[in-house]
Amino acid sequence: MNIIEQLPVLPVVLPLVAAPICVLLPKGNLPWAFATFISVLTFILSLMLLREVHAVGVIEYQLGNWPSPYGIIYRIDMVSALIITLVSGIAATVFPYAKQSVAREIAHQQTSFFYGMMLITFAGLLGVVATGDAFNVFVFLEISSLSTYTLVAMGARQDRRALTAAFTYLVLGTIGATFFVIGLGLLYAATGTLNMIDLHERLVGMDNKVVRAGFAFIITGFGLKLAMFPLHRWLPDAYTFAPSAVTSFLAATATKVAVYVMLRFVFTVFGFSFVFLDVALTFFIILGLAGMFIASLVAVFRDDVKQMLAYSSVAQIGYMLVGISFATVEGVSAALVHVFNHALMKAALFMAVGAVFYAIGSHRISAFRGLGKTMPFTAACFVVAGLSLVGVPFTGGFVSKYLLIDGAFSAVLDVPSLVIVLMIVASSLLAVAYIGRVVYEMYLAEPVEGVKVDRVPLGMLIPLGFMTAANVYAGLDAEGLTTYARRAADILLGVGMAE
Amino acid sequence: MIDFILARYNYWIVIILMLTGLYIVYSRGNLVKTVIGLNVFQTSVFIFYITLGKVVGGTAPILLGAHSAGHGGPSARGATGGDHGDGHGADGHDTGGHGEDHAADPHQAASSHEAPVHADVQHGTPLTEEEALEVLSGQMSNSLEPNAAGDVSGQSDVPAESLHDFSEIDASNSLTPQMPDTHEPAPVDPGITITPGGHETAADQQAVLDAGHEAMTHAAEVVYSNPLPHVLILTAIVVGVATTAVGLALAVRIREAYGTIEEDALERMDNEAATGSPTGEGGKA
């Protein structure tokens, strides 16, 4: 068996098979070591996959050798390869970080289940991206979502509100997934196929109420999953009360994967020949702008840093939606670059918060007082990642915001480009305000006397430093990522414009 | 008008269940009731998918005429697949009335995955068109609708118009479930028939092929329902059960941690934990 031939399926199968094994391992460090090994291995595989896709173009893998429209296929093009690399890269950084953080936040007898669940989430997210079959997306999405609910609930040891947060997430997540299934059913009724490429070919020129209703159901369902602005209610609580490692992982991957699926359905499955698409794009731009501004505004007034960052995530989703709504190569590639950069910065920020929680036992803003002196490395990482969130030059965030503004000027839109740019700037200023609040506490306020600050182990600091460095690197050498994203956007829009 | 509504009664059931489920989720304050609402909501989707797969006059998608072929097979595979085959056979009894045929061989069952689809492709369209017209002309023999595409659009259109173009849509884009492009009449592709089994000897393969051919000739005379939506919804049912299990487990944990599963009380306690006031920030007293 040639490993290259099996490459598209391996990143999904490996963590999926590893998860039950992980649960069977004795509690303690072994499950962690095993899960970390698997995540690193998966990352290597996805890098190989990315290289392969870069060389070959599109790779198709037929599961069980059933030919394309009948069987389930995995279809890896530049877009999916990019997102797979992102997700497994984040996993390979968060899993090493998780060891001490989890040891402190999760009961000892739950460790093997915890890492098993992490691996299932990981496998589900990769599966969503890899598959070329629309119903398969639903299955993998629910695989990852169900395990995510339990992971969020595991934060209950620190704060019982994790349970209610997980329950809300479960209800809204299930409604979102069910909406998606209804939409798929309608599309299947209209076309008789579930293969994404096949769906696209059959949908060309088709515009009736069935297809429109299906489209609306799918977009709303994924709007819920990716926390599109008015549908974001589950996100802040879930991210606030989940264990630190879980939040770092989810914030960087789960919503990004949902954005990917949205891109796939909007551009690959429906495409520009679908008249109704314009309506959705108009909605994206309005909701994206509103989310950018309102969620940032809410974030400014949060006293819990984790919650503040969670609201900021909702705002950043707004940037991505705005980028998608341009429906130009510039806009979509800016959205993809921002997916990437936002994953890096949020992972770093939540890791820093996790380190503070490890040392002090709280993630309220008052706990950050004087950290510049007591925890200089963590504080510095927080500042750098925070600057990236704001969009200061020489960080990843600057690149994506620059591309987004560039895209706004070159696109022809219902909303004047200048308004969009002003909103982006306003939202960034709000980011200055909420990140600034934390930075002020860290550097300008005196440390509180008598607070016990535990030493954060290197096992947490190294991944944190690595992730922060990645943010800076993404800002200094944006060439590679931008080229990849542009190619990916070309593919996404090209499929839609071929007809 | 009445006919129009009655002819699509299954869709009305779906819509009513869907909205009822969503309403329960939003309006009930008890966590267990919320989970029940979610279940009702998901059930509506199951029924929707089953409706999509139903072909008027079609029997369950189990290959008929497999009885003799199954026993003609060279090995005792029938024994291992006994439960499987019997279950399917019983299905055939209930829905199709072709009960004398049993799919006793698991490989038959496997190849029947393909067969009914082709049967649909070849014979489904003309036959169901007739059936559909029958339905339209008032013969409402409480059979489910054959075609969802025409149907759903029909629901939202003006009745007369939709009745008019119903058969049109029917013929054009429906009932050719997943392989409408392949109208070749010889679909017993060795690769397809054998892949599910995976590890047979050449002789076995030949036997299965023969049996498949025999079954295909028989199956071509029978109309089957579309199997794919049933398979999809089996998956969705599994997901639904898992969701319910996780939801109820969370409700148990919430009850342990808070002592209640009423959302109002939970919200009050959470607000108190967050802000020190039961109504939360900026809440009215």
- What single-letter amino acid sits at B214? E
Residue in A66, A156, A210 nearest the CB of B152:
A210
- pLDDT bucket at B201, cuts 50 / 70 / 90: low
SS3 for A152-194 is HHHHHHCCCHHHHHHHHHHHHHHHHHHHHHHHHHHHHHHHCCC
pLDDT tens sequence across B2-26: 888 788 888 888 999 999 999 999 8
First vs last Cα of chain B: how many Å apart? Answer: 52
With 50 as the cut, is the pLDDT of residue B69 above it? no
Three-state secondary-structure class, residue B251: helix
Note the Cα A202 to chain centre separation in Å.
30
Q: Please answer yes or no on whether B195 and A139 come within 8 Å at the CB atom.
A: no
Range name among A251-260, A417-426, B22-31, B60-69 with the lowest pLDDT average = B60-69
HSE-up of residue A11 (Cα within 13 Å, Cβ side): 37
Q: Quick one: pLDDT at residue A294?
A: 92
Q: Which residues of B touch A209 (CB under 8 A)?
A: 152-153, 156-157
With 80 as the cut, is the pLDDT of residue B130 above it? no
Candidates A65, A157, A171, A365, partner chain B, best to mutate (most B CBs within 10 A): A171
Three-state secondary-structure class, residue B224: strand
Residue in B41, B157, B195 nearest the CB of A178:
B41
Sign of the CA dihedral A379, A385, A390, A395? positive
Burial class (CB in 10 A: 0-12, 13-18, 19+), B2: exposed
What percent of chain A shows pLDDT beyond 70?
Answer: 99
- pLDDT bucket at B213, cuts 50 / 70 / 90: low
- What single-letter amino acid sits at A19? A
Q: Please, which residues have CB within 8 angstroms of residue A415's CB and are 6 or more apart in sequence? A: A285, A286, A289
* Helix (H) and strand (E) counts in chain B: 15, 0
Q: Quick one: pLDDT at residue B106?
A: 39
- pLDDT bucket at A1, cuts 50 / 70 / 90: low
Q: Quick one: pLDDT at residue B282?
A: 47
Beta strands A73-76 and A59-62: pairing type? antiparallel
- pLDDT bucket at B181, cuts 50 / 70 / 90: very low
Average pLDDT score over residue span A341-368:
90
Closest approach of B153 to chain A, Cα-based (Å): 6
Q: Quick one: pLDDT at residue A124?
A: 94
- Beta bridge partners, A60, equal A75
Q: Which residue has the higher pLDDT, B77 or A218?
A: A218
Q: Where are the domains of chain A?
A: 285-499
Q: Please answer yes or no on whether B41 and A139 come within 8 Å at the CB atom.
A: no
pLDDT tens sequence across A22-43: 999 888 788 999 999 999 999 9
Average pLDDT score over residue span A94-116:
89
Chain A: residue whose CA lies nearest to B236: A139
Range name among A349-363, B46-60, B199-213 with the lowest pLDDT average = B199-213
CA–CA gap between residue A93 and residue A469 (Å, rounded): 12
Note the Cα A106 to chain centre separation in Å.
23
Q: Which residue has the higher pLDDT, B189 or A481?
A: A481
pLDDT tens sequence across A241-274: 999 999 999 999 999 999 999 999 988 888 877 7
Token digits of residue A272: 């520009």
Q: Which residue has the higher pLDDT, A432 or B95?
A: A432
Q: Which residues of A touch B245 (CB under 8 A)?
A: none
Q: Which residues of B touch A161 (CB under 8 A)?
A: 270, 273-274
Q: What Rg do the C-alpha atoms of chain B give, in angstroms?
A: 25
Average pLDDT score over residue span B106-117:
39
Residue in B38, B41, B257 nearest the CB of A160:
B257
* Helix (H) and strand (E) counts in chain A: 19, 2
Q: Quick one: pLDDT at residue A158?
A: 83
Sign of the CA dihedral B129, B133, B135, B139? negative
Sign of the CA dihedral A468, A471, A476, A481? positive
Cα dist from A24 to A16, A107, A112, whole Å: 14, 17, 7
Contact B121, B182 (CB under 8 A): yes
Candidates B8, B52, B152, partner chain A, best to mutate (most A CBs within 10 A): B152
Contact A75, A197 (CB under 8 A): yes
- pLDDT bucket at A70, cuts 50 / 70 / 90: confident
Three-state secondary-structure class, residue A126: helix
DSSP, residue by residue, A57-72: S-EEEEGGG--TTTS-
Q: Quick one: pLDDT at residue A163?
A: 92
Range name among A386-390, B175-179, B256-260 with the lowest pLDDT average = B175-179
Residue in B49, B229, B247 nearest the CB of A170:
B247
- Beta bridge partners, A62, equal A73
CA–CA gap between residue B39 and residue A310 (Å, rounded): 30
Three-state secondary-structure class, residue B18: helix
Q: Which residues of A touch B246 (CB under 8 A)?
A: 146, 149-150, 170
Token digits of residue B47: 């029924």
The closest alpha carbon to A237, from A290, A287, A310, belongs to: A310
Q: Please answer yes or no on whether B246 and A150 come within 8 Å at the CB atom.
A: yes
Range name among A166-170, A457-461, B30-34, B125-129 with the lowest pLDDT average = B125-129
With 50 as the cut, is the pLDDT of residue B197 above it? no
Average pLDDT, chain A: 88
pLDDT tens sequence across A122-180: 999 999 999 989 999 999 999 999 999 999 999 888 888 899 999 999 999 999 999 99
Average pLDDT score over residue span A388-393:
90
Candidates B239, B253, B255, partner chain A, best to mutate (most A CBs within 10 A): B239
With 70 as the cut, is the pLDDT of residue B73 above it? no
CB atoms within 10 A of CB B80: 12
Contact A476, A249 (CB under 8 A): no
Closest approach of A51 to chain B, Cα-based (Å): 31
Name residues 144-183 of chain B within 8 A of A (Cβ).
147-149, 151-153, 156-157, 173-181
CA–CA gap between residue A242 and residue A390 (Å, rounded): 25
DSSP, residue by residue, A311-333: HHHHHHHHHHHHHHHH-SHHHHH
Q: Which residue has the higher pLDDT, A71 or B277?
A: A71
Contact B119, B224 (CB under 8 A): yes
Range name among A328-332, B18-22, B80-84, B130-134 with the lowest pLDDT average = B80-84
CB atoms within 10 A of CB A103: 16
Q: Please, which residues have CB within 8 angstroms of residue A458's CB and are 6 or more apart in sequence? A: none
Q: Quick one: pLDDT at residue B65?
A: 61
Token digits of residue A13: 């199968």
Ramachandran region, residue A416 (left: φ > 0; alpha: ψ -120 to 50; beta: rest): beta
Average pLDDT score over residue span A230-237:
88
CA–CA gap between residue A22 and residue A120 (Å, rounded): 10
Q: Please, which residues have CB within 8 angstroms of residue A444's CB and are 6 or more apart in sequence? A: none
Tell whether A167 lies on the interface with B, counting CB pairs under 8 A.
yes
Q: Which residue has the higher pLDDT, B156 or B10?
A: B10
The closest alpha carbon to A400, from A470, A339, A314, A344, belongs to: A339
Q: Quick one: pLDDT at residue A419?
A: 86
Q: Please answer yes or no on whether B52 and A185 come within 8 Å at the CB atom.
A: yes
HSE-up of residue B169 (Cα within 13 Å, Cβ side): 23
Average pLDDT score over residue span B214-219:
62
Residue in A174, A186, A194 nearest the CB of B243:
A174
Q: Which residue has the higher pLDDT, B199 or A302?
A: A302
- pLDDT bucket at A219, cuts 50 / 70 / 90: very high
The closest alpha carbon to A346, from A375, A320, A374, belongs to: A320
CA–CA gap between residue A478 and residue B26 (Å, rounded): 46
Q: Quick one: pLDDT at residue B167?
A: 38
Name residues 201-230 of chain B within 8 A of A (Cβ).
228-229
- What single-letter amino acid sits at B36? I
Q: Quick one: pLDDT at residue B252?
A: 93
Contact A310, A239 (CB under 8 A): yes
Q: Quick one: pLDDT at residue B242?
A: 93
- Beta bridge partners, A75, equal A60
CA–CA gap between residue A494 and residue A492 (Å, rounded): 6
pLDDT tens sequence across A7-27: 888 889 999 999 999 999 888
What percent of chain B shows pLDDT beyond 90?
Answer: 17
Average pLDDT score over residue span B109-123:
39
In chain A, what's the furthest Cα-to-Cα distance?
70
CA–CA gap between residue B98 and residue B144 (Å, rounded): 19
In chain B, what's the furthest Cα-to-Cα distance?
81
What percent of chain A shows pLDDT beyond 90?
Answer: 48
Q: Quick one: pLDDT at residue B244?
A: 94
Q: Quick one: pLDDT at residue A484?
A: 87
CA–CA gap between residue A429 and residue A398 (Å, rounded): 13
Q: Which residue has the higher pLDDT, B133 or A63?
A: A63
Burial class (CB in 10 A: 0-12, 13-18, 19+), B26: exposed
